[in-house]
Each structure stands twice: as C-alpha cells, then as structure tokens.
Amino acid sequence: MNDLDNDSDEPTLTITVNQTTTLTCDEQRDLTALLKHCVQPQAITIDALMTVQRYRGWISDQTLTAIAQFLGISTAELDSVATFYNLIFRLPVAKIVLHPCNGMVCQLMGSAAVEAQLSQCLAILPGQSDSDNQFTLIPLPCLGACDKAPVMIAAQQLFEFITPENVSNILVNLSSATKITNGADTNTESRTGGHDDQ
C-alpha cells in the first residue's frame, strides 16, 4: 500500500535503506593478496584503505563499511584507523592533493609563506579544493625531510626548498603532468573504480 491508497488517518511507515557499496573485482583481488601476508586482518588496515583509495580517490562511509566487511573487522575499528591516518581521505579530494609541510623546521624555514602563496594562487584555504577540482590543499605535520625545508608532497613527489616565488611553477608543472597522464589513459575512471559514493 502506498501513501495515495491510504484513506485512514493511520500514520504510514517510511523505511530508509542505506546505500550500499560493493568492492570491485580488482579491489577484492588486491585486498585478498594483502590478506595472504598477515595473520590478523587488523595488520593491513592502512594498506587496505590505501589500496581502495587508489581506485576511488577517497574513502566514503559506504566504502569503509565494504572494506571492513571484506576484512572481517568492525566498521568502527576501521574508521578509527581511517580518521587517525591523515593520508586516508574521508571526503572527496581533487586530482592532485598538495601536502605542504607545516612542521617546526619547515615553519622556521618559511613554510607559512609557501602555504599562503599556494592558497592565493589557487584561491582556496587549507582543506579546500580549487574550482576546477585540480588541487586540494591539505598541510601535514613533519614530512621527514627537514634538511630540505620547506618541503611539500604532491603527486607522489617531494618538492624541496620551496619558496613563494616558485609555487606557481610547481602548480603549472603538476597540472601539465596530470593532463598528459590523463590524456594517455583513463586515470580518473581507474582512480574512482567507476563508483560514485558522494
């Protein structure tokens, strides 16, 4: 019976079903390979999250639940890892995530000015993505390259001795490299695994 057929004054019950997400065959294959190398699934939680994130770009609540079910652990347990580890993205991010270091040594060497220049060039604040979804800015504490400060990680590269003056060149080079890569393959589709978890 739907609401239109209900002539009585009795309230109707509406049931909301949570959207579920399944892991792709590639994701399941990669997670199975990880599981073969550990005694307890808790030992590979970070690797499992990073593996699926490589396909999807970020870890939605539904994806987190699917990974937890596949590993045979609780969603809460996996979420505690995902929210602690700052390279697991729990919200959508752009194609390139910029991680300028804001550790003490980098701060002493001018990282605040570098971060301000990144924000100005992209017209965003830390934690935001630019309007064309090319860059997300997420500063991180110490990246472990203090002798090369200030530093930044982006697109699996370490940028050393950054100055506000060379920020725009770095952004142009990263943007160009991404366009070349995306033109050569279907990087976006493979990154997202064909899922839309938004």
Per-residue pLDDT of the chain (198 residues; tens, 9 = 90+): 444 444 545 544 433 334 567 999 999 999 999 999 999 999 999 999 999 999 999 999 999 999 999 999 999 999 999 999 989 999 999 999 999 999 999 999 999 999 999 999 999 999 999 999 999 999 999 999 999 999 999 999 999 999 999 999 999 999 988 766 554 443 333 333 334 443
Residues of the chain with CATH 3.40.30.10: 96-178
What pLDDT shows up at residue 12?
45
**pTM value?**
0.74
CA 117 – CA 150 distance, rounded (Å): 13
CA 138 – CA 106 distance, rounded (Å): 15
Is the C-alpha dihedral spanning 32, 33, 37, 41 positive or negative?
negative
> Residue 84 — left, alpha, or beta (φ > 0 → left; ψ -120 to 50 → alpha)?
alpha
Q: What is the CATH class of 25-84?
A: mainly alpha
Residues of the chain with CATH 1.10.10: 25-84
**E strands within the chain?**
96-100, 135-137, 152-154, 157-159
Q: Exposure pattern of 135-154 as b/e (b: 16+ CB <10 Å)?
A: bbbbbbeebebbebbbbbbb
CATH number of 96-178: 3.40.30.10
Among 82, 52, 56, CA closest to 67: 52
Upper half-sphere CA count for residue 153 (Cβ side, 13 Å): 14
> Look-up: residue for tokens 């490299």?
177
Q: Residue 59 class from Cβ within 10 Å (0-12 exposed, 13-18 middle, 19+ buried)?
A: buried
Tell me the helices (H) and strands (E) count for the chain, helix number first: 8, 4
**Diameter of the chain measured on Cα atoms:** 76
